[in-house]
Structure 1
Amino acid sequence: MATQIWTPLDYDKPGKQIGHLNLPHSVHRSAYGNIVIPLGIVANGTGPTLLLTAGTHGDEYEGQVALTRLLRDIDPAAINGRLIILPMLNAPAARAGLRVSPVDGVNLNRAFPGDPLGSPTQAIAHYVSSVLFPLADVYQDLHAGGSSLDYLPFVSVRASVDADLDAKALAAARAFGAPYIQVWGYSPDPRLSTAESNRQKIISLGGEFGGGGSVSRRGLGIVERGLQRLMAHLGMIAPLDETPPTPAIEVEVKGRDHYVYAAGNGLFEPLCDLGDHVEAGQTCGLLHDPDDPTRPAIPHHFATSGLLICRRHPGRAERGDCVAHLATPRRR
């Protein structure tokens, strides 16, 4: 089934075009309405196509700011190739500042490869899978921890079953120049955008560049400089005149035992900081129940050793919430 999303923009036209994708969406206030999703295309020469997305989760902002500025400022004459830029891919979620779409309650990064006749979020995932991925040589989806998590800033690759594809993705990640590179060797869900792009044999990067539902100045700087380095690595722009960045610390997430989940409801007191190296059995934090002060705090422990790369941001947690996860050093 073909996509129902349409745009007047031409993916093959040279120059810079800025407009929208239009997703038909009939509701009470607008019988023949559309959900509009900002889209930019910048093309010149014969170089590769780089697909850039942010706002897959609407409460993650560094990528949205970086791609908005890139699209606004870039001169088509300065590039060799094509940029396809969607600064707020899940536009309803981004406009609401929410992780999931307020239209259908679906998490876009748990909706791939999508459904052209499904809910709006499923239709967006299908458009990316069926229209944009076939145009792309390289894909980067920019994330942050959103409202619920804080992250050390890293660029990431997701392990596939194709060693050559993984090697090219890792080379691109090293060129990006973030302080950390994380390899997702384990994923709790196969419906991610980078999992789908792996299936389509596209060189793919992700990354988490902040958290807490704010705009990290450090994270934004890493993203903006990293995108320039990535384009230079791909031959889309001239080599950068800069001192090479310090080689990244390379880590990986190998399994479910890298995660710590709340064992009840209450206020979670963390006992470790981002960037700490922790040991298996070490106490991650204590869960307190102010509703019942006589109840002892529930200790939570790390199941394995590693680097604390992610921690829950809000103090209140419910049973099953992720309160922390680790990454372990990766052998080159």
Structure 2
Amino acid sequence: MCSVANPIRSEIDFEENGRHVGYLRLPNSVHRSAYGWIPIPVGSVRNGTGPTVLLMAGNHGDEYEGQLLVAQLSREIEPQWVNGQVIFLPMANYPAADAGLRTSPLDDGNLNRSFPGDPHGSPTAVIAHYIESTLLARSQYLLDFHSGGSSLLYHGGNMLAVEPNDAEEDSRLRSLLAAFGLPRAFLHSPNPLHSSMAARRQGAMSIVTELGGGGTVQRRLLLEARQGVLHLLSTIGVLNGPLVPWRAPHETRFYRVAGERHYVYACERGVFEPLVDLGERVSAGQPAARIHFPDTPSREPVLVAFESAGEVVCRRTFAAVQRGDCLFHLAEPAE
């Protein structure tokens, strides 16, 4: 990790007890504002002694469910109900979230492919460095809220976690996922550029969500995610009081995402026709989609098949596709 100080400055003191809200100031010298800064919303509720949890959303700017949830919880959780600290970062990559884009319009930066970041880098790299070196460095837990964004739609509520290093971590991780209690939990191989690995490097446990998507917000998913977060915060001893639900929203089933064979991609440019629905179980070789070519009416559509068996947990929302666009994403039971 680079030892150079990060240029971002916080308007709030993370050591102070009570509720505090403000902005992380990211210096941004541009034609419109020579000495300006980018406002990244941040909040903290701190009281007593206990773990620190970072609730982060807006990692990708077109994923709205988490942005609403983190902002809502920052208003709802009172300091007297907290033992430890909850940090709220509802629009982590603020330029992307403000524009409603997956990546930042300032540098085309994908925050969840930018960790550990660089304090001398582009705006997205500076944000990634601050999150890892300052916020995650003081946290024991990370909840990073994602969804399918504009181009993808996930089947209901899902959680992702990096495959554990050993049996002890596996037991602890499964307990956390069960306490959150969304219907499905995927275990996946580590990617050093993701927030989950940034958390691991700082000694924190992490859970990433995939809540719906398609550029929309589904009320049921938002309510279930809120219930799950509050139940998890209570389980780890950070939260008590009237907000705590008596149970998790669902009994979680565990899945594994096994690399390329669980993904289906467009092989040509055209119009995507799905042949299966979300939640459907499919077999290897089963037709997944047709790619049509309305600009060449005499041409027959191309059939795309699943390489592997599994459950359809995600599909593309946009009908127009280009070669290499993801059409479907599968998962298989982990047991």
- Shorter-chain TM-score category? over 0.9
Partner of 2:47: 44
Deviation (angstroms), 1:210: 1.1
Residues 14-25 of structure 1: matches in 2 within 5 Å?
14-25=17-28
* 1:165–1:202 CA contact under 8 A, matched in 2: no
Deviation (angstroms), 1:161: 3.1
Unaligned runs of 5+ in 2: none
Residues 135-150 of structure 1: matches in 2 within 5 Å?
135-150=138-153
* 2:159–2:184 CA contact under 8 A, matched in 1: yes
* 2:305 equivalent to 1:301: yes
Please list the CA deviations of residues 41-79 of structure 1 after superposition, one character each: whole Å capped at 9, or x if unmatched.
100110110011000001101110011111112211111
Deviation (angstroms), 1:241: 5.1
User: 1:95 & 1:241 partners in 2: Cα distance?
Assistant: 32
Residues 74-93 of structure 1: matches in 2 within 5 Å?
74-93=77-96
Partner of 1:263: 267
Relative to 1, partners in 2 of residues 1:13 and 1:208: Cα closer, same or farther, differing over 3 Å?
same
Size of the aligned set, in residue pairs, is: 329
* 1:268–1:316 CA contact under 8 A, matched in 2: yes
After superposing the two structures, state which structure 1 stretch, 217-226 or 61-70, moved more. 217-226
* 1:165–1:201 CA contact under 8 A, matched in 2: no
After superposing the two structures, state which structure 1 stretch, 233-242 or 321-330, moved more. 233-242
Please list the CA deviations of residues 275-319 of structure 1 after superposition, one character each: whole Å capped at 9, or x if unmatched.
000000001110001111112111111111000001001111110
Unaligned runs of 5+ in 1: none
Relative to 1, partners in 2 of residues 1:207 and 1:243: Cα closer, same or farther, differing over 3 Å?
closer
Relative to 1, partners in 2 of residues 1:246 and 1:86: Cα closer, same or farther, differing over 3 Å?
closer
- Pick one of 42, 54, 58 that aligns with 2:57: 54
Partner of 2:100: 97
Partner of 1:170: 174
Please list the CA deviations of residues 94-113 of structure 1 after superposition, one character each: whole Å capped at 9, or x if unmatched.
11100000111111111010
Please list the CA deviations of residues 87-141 of structure 1 after superposition, one character each: whole Å capped at 9, or x if unmatched.
0001111111000001111111110100101000000000011111110011110
Taking structure 2 as the reference length, the TM-score comes to 0.95
Partner of 1:207: 209
Which amino acid is 1:317 matched to? V
- Pick one of 317, 320, 326 that aligns with 1:316: 320
- Pick one of 266, 276, 285 that aligns with 2:280: 276
User: 1:183 & 1:264 partners in 2: Cα distance?
Assistant: 30
Partner of 1:238: 240
* 1:280–1:305 CA contact under 8 A, matched in 2: yes
**Aligned to 2:264, what secondary structure does the other structure show?**
strand
* 1:157–1:170 CA contact under 8 A, matched in 2: no
* 2:177–2:252 CA contact under 8 A, matched in 1: no
Partner of 1:192: 194
Deviation (angstroms), 1:8: 2.6
Which amino acid is 1:168 matched to? R
Alignment RMSD: 1.4
Taking structure 1 as the reference length, the TM-score comes to 0.96
User: 2:145 & 2:59 partners in 1: Cα distance?
Assistant: 8
**Aligned to 1:300, what secondary structure does the other structure show?**
strand
Relative to 1, partners in 2 of residues 1:264 and 1:244: Cα closer, same or farther, differing over 3 Å?
closer
* 2:295 equivalent to 1:291: yes
User: 1:303 & 1:311 partners in 2: Cα distance?
Assistant: 15
* 1:165–1:203 CA contact under 8 A, matched in 2: no
Deviation (angstroms), 1:38: 0.2
**Aligned to 2:33, what secondary structure does the other structure show?**
coil
User: 2:245 & 2:121 partners in 1: Cα distance?
Assistant: 47
Deviation (angstroms), 1:163: 4.3
* 1:133–1:202 CA contact under 8 A, matched in 2: yes
